[in-house]
Amino acid sequence: MSKNIIFLNPIFKETIWGGNKLKQFGYSIPSDTIGECWGISAHKNGDCTICGGEYKGMTLSQLWNSHRDLFGNCEGDCFPLLVKIIDAKKDLSIQVHPDDRYAMKHENGSLGKTECWYVLDCEKNSTIIIGHNAKNSIEVENMITGRHWKEFIREIPVHKGDFFQIEPGCVHAIKGGTLILETQQNSDITYRVYDYDRLSNGQPRNLHIKQSIDVIQAPFKESSYERTISFGLDYTCEKLIECPLYCVESLKISGSAQIPQTHSFMNMSVISGEGTINNIAIKKGTHFILPYNYGNIEFKGDMQIITSYIQ
Ligand code: ZN
């Protein structure tokens, strides 16, 4: 069995709300309106290629299909997670995602989407939209069709290091000035509720009013997950979320830390600092997967890494 670390080439996505902050990660981005870096993805709309090693040039989906042993023989048609860095220079549209059941029925058998956000950075007084103020489904429909956006939308302050779990049916939007690492189910199904009446190439972008009203959960319930922190020699590991779809952790290394890889696979994205993993140089902006049965990892350096895995 191969025990090589699977390093990935990120994919960049041009968006009307994107900026150029992804340069901070050492990426040479193709324009000044890049909203997303897909760092770990096997999605058909952006399938990362493997960078270096014996699988060099293969896509992550090809590797998933041909070498499932690297992923602990996990079941499923597609690699289950997608990790992105999002640079919102302007506000993203207000949106909601379906759950697996709704997506299966209405979106050609696609998966629904649960996602979570780790706030990497944000400008002073930044806000984010999570949830709504309607008391029930009828109010949701009335507020949306009546365009009562101010009353409908629940906007809250956001700070560096905040973490949000976005369940299907939860109205949400990243607002301008925020840089986020998103870990999500491998799905690209988004229903746009409201786009601030903006124009893209002279036209308003499509809204999905019916689907949104179908899937929005009412009333909004804040999801409460406890963040727990464990301490090792020269590292801390903070569990940000453990849900049926994924676990996400923030790993902070300072010095020389030994950590075992005990999961079917482990996604890792370096979000600050630099150092080595088993003597291979890594730095802010590096994305990689530790395969099944990788054994002990030895990190050296000063870095923060966001990890994700499934149980
Ligand atoms: Zn979303």
Q: Which tens digits make up the pLDDT trace of 184-197? A: 999 889 999 999 98
pLDDT digits (tens, 9 = 90+) for 220-233: 998 888 899 999 99
Q: Which two tokens stand for residue 302?
A: 């000063």
Whether 18 and 34 have beta carbons less than 8 Å apart is answered as: yes
More confident residue, 121 or 110: 121
CA of 182 to the centre of ligand 1 (A): 9
Q: How far apart are CA 26 and CA 284, in angstroms?
A: 7
pLDDT averaged over the chain?
A: 95
CA of 63 to the centre of ligand 1 (A): 27
Q: What is the mean pLDDT of residues 112-130?
A: 97
Q: What is the pLDDT of residue 294?
A: 92
Whether 170 and 98 have beta carbons less than 8 Å apart is answered as: no
Does the annotation count 192 as an active-site position? yes
Evaluate if residue 1 carries a pLDDT over 60: no
CA of 290 to the centre of ligand 1 (A): 26
Tell me which residue has tokens 């992550």: 60
Whether 112 and 228 have beta carbons less than 8 Å apart is answered as: no
CA of 188 to the centre of ligand 1 (A): 9
Residue type, 189: I
Q: What is the mean pLDDT of residues 125-149?
A: 96
Q: How far apart are CA 299 and CA 282, in angstroms?
A: 10
CA of 280 to the centre of ligand 1 (A): 34
Comparing 110-114, 126-130, 151-155, the range with the smallest average pLDDT is: 110-114
Q: How far apart are CA 294 and CA 88, in angstroms?
A: 35
CA of 121 to the centre of ligand 1 (A): 18
Evaluate if residue 272 carries a pLDDT over 90: yes
Model-level pTM?
0.95
Evaluate if residue 2 carries a pLDDT over 70: no
Q: What is the mean pLDDT of residues 126-137?
A: 97
Q: What is the pLDDT of residue 201?
A: 83
The backbone region for 275, taken as left when phi is positive above 0, alpha when psi lies in -120 to 50, beta otherwise, is: left
Q: What is the pLDDT of residue 3?
A: 73
Cis peptide before 219 (omega within 30 of 0): yes
Whether 17 and 176 have beta carbons less than 8 Å apart is answered as: yes
pLDDT digits (tens, 9 = 90+) for 43-101: 999 999 999 899 999 999 999 999 999 999 999 999 999 999 999 999 999 999 999 99
Catalytic residue selected from 101, 147, 192, 198? 192
CA of 172 to the centre of ligand 1 (A): 7
Q: What is the mean pLDDT of residues 199-214?
A: 91
Evaluate if residue 14 carries a pLDDT over 90: yes
H/E run at residue 143 = helix 137-145
Evaluate if residue 141 carries a pLDDT over 50: yes
